[in-house]
Amino acid sequence: MPTPFRISLAIQAACLLALSAVDGRAAVQDKSAPTLAPVTVAAKANRDPVEKSYRKMVKGMDLFEQQRSALAPQAALRFKLLPRRPDTDLNNIELAVVGSRVEFEVPIAPDHTFTLPRNPQALEENAQVIPNRKRQSMTWRTEIRTPGLPPNTRRLGDLRLECKVGMEAGLVSNSSNLVGQLVKSVLYTPAYCDGKAPLYLFFADRPVFSVALVNGERREILAIDKLYANASDDPNLPGDLPYCDCEVLVDRTYILPLGDRSWPDDTLVAFEFMEDE
């Protein structure tokens, strides 16, 4: 029986590297701790949450502050929630930081982005960041945007930093198969983003027709194998890739030559969208 997409092993590795996170909680609660009050945050009632480590996300925030002046001096950092399944509803999501004793809610903007407050107690307790959505129903990314860019463009330095912060924060989700475990154990670090052509998947705002790098008079259109998770020849695109958190966003995916320094950080990534064509 044919698989839904004929995707190369390299792209599967990209999905599983850039889109896979360590499941489970690292914290072990103190048995002597007092009994906690009943849970009131809806996210905590979810028995199969898609949660992230608060410590790792704060480490990503620290990395952003360390490298923003070099890569994205005018940009701000936000985190973004994205769907993984066709039936995922991203509206009215409740997001909470939950530790053994600390808990607080995190407001989510209408565009499904949020900022994470720094809380020493949450760090000490190795708290988790938990939405009220099930595992594999959604995924996470960083969003680093320099204001005032031309329409339908992103800035390459912003995206370089998005990759680094996302890797440091452990945002991308999930596959438990052997390939995913091997890839993430070897390459799951911000340094991976400095490679000439790291297989890190970005998501455009809408389905893309083409993506180009533009710097002054120099312009280069990305090859088709850098779009659509290398599934452009599949008649069912977009579709379902259960091992990759691009599974319902395949027609928005693109890969950039992040480590190719012949493209400076001020290079624009210019999009033509399917609906425009």
Q: Each residue of 106-146: pLDDT tens digit?
A: 999 999 999 999 999 999 999 999 998 887 788 899 999 99
**Contact (Cβ atoms closer than 8 angstroms) between residue 98 and residue 25:** no
Q: What is the mean pLDDT of the chain?
A: 79
The span from the CA of 205 to the CA of 111, in Å, is: 11
In this prediction, residue 78 has a pLDDT band, given cuts at 50, 70 and 90, of very high
Identify the three-state secondary structure at position 16: helix
> What amino acid is encoded at 246 in this protein?
C
Neighbours of 208 (CB within 10 A): 22
pLDDT for residue 187: 57
In this prediction the pTM is 0.78
pLDDT of residue 188: 67
d(CA 275, CA 45): 39
C-alpha–C-alpha distance, residues 217 and 123, integer Å? 48
pLDDT digits (tens, 9 = 90+) for 29-38: 444 434 333 3
User: Which tens digits make up the pLDDT trace of 145-181?
Assistant: 999 999 999 999 999 999 999 999 988 765 444 344 4
pLDDT tens-digit series, residues 197-244: 788 889 999 999 999 999 999 999 999 999 987 665 554 444 455 557
State residue 226 phi and psi, 5-degree precision: -95, 0
Structure tokens at 123: 């760090």
Domain parsing of the chain, residue ranges: 9-22+47-273
- What single DSSP character describes residue 35? P
